[in-house]
Amino acid sequence: MQYMLQMTYRPEDNTEEGTPEYEAEMRRWNALNEELKAAGHYIGASGLTLDATTVRKTADGDVTVTDGPYAETKEVLFSFYLLDVPDLDAAIAVAAKTPASEYGSVDIRPLVGFEPA
């Protein structure tokens, strides 16, 4: 089963790049990446910038484009994993291993299989 793990955090709680704390966290992320790859569960992952463009279409067909995601939360999406694991319990186990589960949240979403044309 394939899942997307969407990771969020609060920017004000961010670890500053270049600090020992940041370097320790990056070692944890890299170790998890290697563990998932070795187990054959890793499809892909990426960090995300805080920049975004939001597109909405009205019922009249008008398109609005807005800079930035404007969610009703103080947490922002900063990274994701694409996994191929046996089941939801396995995805939860991976999510619990992420540093994001300690200072943010991890949303787990099953992927719907759309095959390319």
Confidence band of 7 (pLDDT split at 50, 70, 90): very high
Q: Find the mean pLDDT for residues 46-67.
A: 85
CATH number, domain of 86, equals: 3.30.70.1060
- Residue 30's domain comprises 2-50+77-110
Is position 31 within any domain?
yes
Number of domains making up the chain: 1
More confident position, 98 or 14: 98
Is position 59 within any domain?
no
**Pairing assessment for the beta strands 42-47 and 104-110 based on DSSP bridges:** unpaired
Q: What's the whole-model pTM score?
A: 0.80
- The per-residue DSSP string of 31-52 comes to HHHHHHHHHT-EEEEEE--S--
What is the model's pLDDT at position 113?
73
pLDDT digits (tens, 9 = 90+) for 11-52: 887 888 899 999 999 999 999 999 999 999 999 999 888 777
Confidence band of 92 (pLDDT split at 50, 70, 90): very high
- Count of helix runs (H) and strand runs (E) in the chain: 3, 6
What is the model's pLDDT at position 71?
57
CA separation for the pair 25, 14 (Å, rounded): 11
pLDDT digits (tens, 9 = 90+) for 64-87: 888 766 555 677 888 999 999 999
CA separation for the pair 2, 92 (Å, rounded): 12
